[in-house]
Structures are given as structure tokens and as C-alpha cells.
A and B are shown apart, each in its own frame.
Chain A
């Protein structure tokens, strides 16, 4: 069975600090997909990134960057120069690719990030 662990539950930083959100996953499959979603207080889950198990390149998108390391089964997310608008719950999720079947997203418990002005 697959599992996603987000050991940090709540993080509080001051604006402009860098912050890293950790995600560790477990799966027995060689083909799988990892995701990060952001959930602001309004409730909508906003898709941030998808990464497949064969692509270990790190990715940068503006102030956001992701570090995928298969050796440690981790897919960590860093926000550089955090802003108040980054305050939200962040979920890491995992899904397997099942040909001809329905796959499910397995979510971590989420990390509540508070950015103070």
C-alpha cells in the first residue's frame, strides 16, 4: 500500500524567510506520480506540481522549487522569500499508474504554513 508522510504539521515563518515543506512517500511500484496541492482558507485545492517517478530533475517555478530524491523517497517543496499569501495548508500526494484501472490519490496529512508580516 502506498503512504505519504508529512511529518511537519504546522510551520510559522516571518515574511521573506525561506521555508521547506517535507514529504516522504512509500510505494512498491516503479511507476508513480507525486503532487503538491495548496489549500488556502477559501477551501479550494490548487494544483502546484506533478512529477513522475522517472523524472528526478528538480523544478523551479518562480519562488517555488521542488527537490525529488528517489534514493530517500522524498519530494520536498521550498518557498523562497515567503509572502503572507503563501499562508495555506499544503498537501503532498501520491498516485500509482494502473493501466486499465482507476488509481487513487493518497494524500499526506498536510502542513499548515503561516507567514507573518
Chain B
């Protein structure tokens, strides 16, 4: 089973709203990732959690706040977003984060900020 699940599938929010994206995997993976993907572009890495600790933050604005409550769950808290933050947000997981392991992606959350 190589399934990563993400909720919600679609999200529309105003610039003053607070919302959260959720990601879950039950493969026993110890690394989890958030990516942002704009239309017709490749995914861009935002955050990496390794063994439930934040190991990479790609200089993401503080209006995006990641959280890893346990090894199976990854959240992305959103607050005061801008319209340019509208994108597909992809979660991924891998056994580790050394680069050897394959990253498995979820179906994504399509976010629209009005």
C-alpha cells in the first residue's frame, strides 16, 4: 500500500480566514513533505519533516505553518493568505529523507484564495 491521503480535495478561503490542510500516511514512513504547485509548473518544496521534526523550511512565508503531530500525520495551517497562494498543495512521504527513498505523493488539495 503506497497511499497518501489528503483532505480536503478543494478549498476556497478568504484572505482573513484560517484553515488547515491535512495529510496522512500509514506506510511507516518517517519523512513527510509539503509541496506547492502552480499551474503548468513543477512542484516546489515547502517543508520537510524527518522523524517528526522540521528539517527543511524553504523560506516559506509565516502565513504557512506546518505541524507534524505524529509520524503518520502532517498538517499545514493557513492564515492570512494572498490570492497568489492559490495552487495545488501536495503532500508526500518517504521512508527516510536522505534522497535514496522514493517519495509517494497524495492527490493534493486545490486551494483558491479570494
Interface residues of A (CB under 8 A from B): 32-33, 35, 37, 42-47, 50, 52, 91, 95-105, 107-110
Q: Once the chains are docked, how many angstroms separate the CA of A35 from the CA of B50?
A: 21
Taking the complex as formed, is B65 at the interface, i.e. its CB lies under 8 A from any CB of chain A?
Answer: no
Tally of A-B residue pairs with Cβ under 8 A? Answer: 64
Interface residues of B (CB under 8 A from A): 2, 31, 40-43, 45, 48, 50, 55-56, 88, 90, 92, 97-100, 102-108, 110
Smallest beta-carbon distance B38→chain A, Å? 12
Q: Once the chains are docked, how many angstroms separate the CA of A104 from the CA of B35?
A: 11
Q: Evaluate whether A96 and B90 lie within 8 angstroms (CB atoms) in the complex, with A91-B42, A102-B48 already known.
A: no
Q: In the complex, which of the residues A37, A42, A50, A103 contacts B98, with contact meaning CB atoms closer than 8 Å?
A: A103
- In the complex, which of the residues B40, B41, B100, B102 has the most CB atoms of chain A within 10 Å of its own CB atom? B100
Q: Once the chains are docked, how many angstroms separate the CA of A97 from the CA of B100?
A: 6
Q: Evaluate whether A97 and B99 lie within 8 angstroms (CB atoms) in the complex, with A43-B88, A44-B108, A102-B55 already known.
A: yes
Q: CB distance B106 to A95 under 8 Å?
A: no
Q: 5 closest pairs, A vs B, by CB?
A: A103-B99, A107-B42, A45-B105, A95-B99, A44-B107
Majority DSSP secondary structure for residues of A touching B: loop
Q: CB distance A44 to B99 under 8 Å?
A: no
Chain B residue contacts of A46, Cβ below 8 A = 105
Q: Once the chains are docked, how many angstroms separate the CA of A43 from the CA of B87?
A: 11
